[in-house]
Chain A
């Protein structure tokens, strides 16, 4: 089971809810992914439009846990206020904390992130910080009160997979007890399997599923990959070698002197 704060989950695939071709496809993708946690956000609502009301009904029908984000926030103040607004609307203390530092890469501003995390943890939020693979930043976030970390695989929406597997492995080895979720940048199911094989506890996928030609089929593919990667981690992989090692026993081989 995956333990995220007080919650135990069977599924290790968290799903973003943005960029699907339609609400119906989002709904089917959530089911195909067998996910239990869906990320959501807050946006300006015009009184005539009521787009948010329909979306919120759809999410509630799905019966999943919601993880609200602070996407688009560039400062500590924006992120902290957005977290409070999300807690009120979504009725959860969970917050996926994003403080963006750079617009081309959507790289986290790790200085603002640690400060916002400190404030929100002290206020009783259960913070899921969207961070880099930096070990020292991870230490600071844990010291601030975070009990889960969400390092990026590569820039949001880039589909490039695990950009720095060496540093990610070091992060895993350094914090064996902390739930680590790869958030952002995964493009294909093999990236997700790799993350689980490296020992990450879960992955959060949005664009790779939502923008696939068939999002529902891709959601199922990611669900299989996550299960395969987790099983492989538990099974214990062999060490890579440089030279061949015969798999067929050599003892008793015919036609030898």
Chain B
């Protein structure tokens, strides 16, 4: 299936958010996530199922005003 990760389509067979983040290399990073525009807490990642066409945002601390 295809998941839109930070604006880029990624092909994957991993249908669970926690596992997909590992697969994408975010394992140890301080990041926060939203699926289809809704925040998904760290504690909910392993029970969050993904389906074809979902939009995933992976955000990290950045400079801001």
Contact = CB atoms under 8 A, between A and B. Distances in A.
Interface of A: 16-20, 26, 39-48, 50-53, 55-56, 59, 68-69, 71, 77-78, 81, 84-86, 88-90, 156-157, 204, 206-207
A45 B59 contact: yes
Contacts of A86: 32
A17 B32 contact: no
Given A51-B60, A90-B61, 12 more contacts: A16-B65, A17-B65, A18-B65, A42-B64, A43-B60, A45-B6, A47-B25, A51-B62, A84-B39, A84-B41, A89-B59, A204-B65
Given A40-B62, A40-B63, A41-B64, A85 B34 contact: yes
Interface string B16-52: 0000000011100111111001110110000000000
Contact of A52 (B31, B33, B37, B38): B31
A40 B32 CA distance: 14
B29 A45 contact: yes
Contacts of A84: 39, 41
Contacts, number: 109
A248 B24 CA distance: 77
A16 to B, nearest CB: 3
Tier of interface size on chain B: 20 to 34
A85 B62 contact: no
A138 B33 CA distance: 32
Given A17-B64, A18-B63, A56-B61, A42 B32 contact: yes
Contacts of B34: 81, 85
Q: Of residues B32, B39, B41, B61, which shows the largest number of chain A Cβ atoms within 10 Å of its Cβ?
A: B61
Contacts of A88: 32, 39, 41-42
A45 B31 contact: yes
Given A81-B38, A81-B39, A89 B63 contact: no
A112 B6 CA distance: 25
Contacts of B6: 44-46
B19 to A, nearest CB: 14
A53 B30 contact: yes
Contacts of B61: 40-42, 52-53, 55-56, 59, 89-90
A206 B58 CA distance: 26
Contacts of A40: 61-64
B64 A16 contact: yes
Contacts of A41: 61-65
8 contacts: A17-B64, A18-B63, A18-B65, A43-B62, A44-B6, A53-B60, A84-B41, A85-B34
Contacts of A48: 25
